[in-house]
Amino acid sequence: MTYRRHSEYMFDKLTTPSGLPVGKREPGGSRINIQDAFLNHCRREKVGVEITMINGAVCAGTIVGFDNFVIALEQEGKQTLVFKTAIMQVDPVVFVNYIFNDAYRPDAYRHDASHERAENPDHFA
């Protein structure tokens, strides 16, 4: 009998924007994961974040870049490099709109993104 880890069940229903399950390989061979999707969304949309460190300190700013080991934050023109091993939690300061799978979005929040672009073109520039 083959057993699956609990973490494998947690994200069975989540999909990437291309429709593949999260954690599965894209056709080009790259692997999409929740951490990268979340951080990239916050970076791309310039969503402010508060990062709580394992020692309780809080760093706030906008994500300007990240890799497997660090997150680069910018606040008031100053950049800070935060090592992921020291991070306990990343909180966006605004509501992040169900970036992983539209199926989990409450009906009240479902909308057509192209309609939003037409109403507020500067938001997506």
Tell me the C-alpha distance between 31 and 102, whole Å. Answer: 20
Nearest CA to 50 out of 17, 1, 87 is that of 87
Do the domain assignments include residue 62? yes
Do the domain assignments include residue 56? yes
Do the domain assignments include residue 39? yes
Tell me the C-alpha distance between 98 and 109, whole Å. Answer: 9
Q: How high is the pLDDT of residue 111?
A: 53
pLDDT tens-digit readout, 17-46: 555 555 555 556 566 688 888 899 899 999
State the CATH number of the domain containing residue 83: 2.30.30.100
How are strands ordered across the β-sheet holding 58-66? 78-83, 70-75, 58-66, 48-53, 87-92
Q: How high is the pLDDT of residue 10?
A: 47
Higher confidence at residue 103 or residue 36? 36
Structure tokens given for 72? 């680069």
**Contact criterion met (CB below 8 Å) for 38 and 45:** no
Task: Give the chain's domain count.
Answer: 1
Do the domain assignments include residue 87? yes
pLDDT tens-digit readout, 62-91: 999 999 999 999 999 999 999 999 999 999
Do the domain assignments include residue 94? yes
- Residue 118 pLDDT class (50, 70, 90 cuts): very low
Q: How high is the pLDDT of residue 107?
A: 57
- Among 3-17, 41-55, 105-119, top mean pLDDT goes to 41-55
Do the domain assignments include residue 23? yes
Do the domain assignments include residue 21? yes
Do the domain assignments include residue 93? yes
> Considering the chain, what percentage of its residues have pLDDT values greater than 90?
42
The 8-class DSSP code of residue 85 comes to G
Domain of residue 42: give its range. 6-105
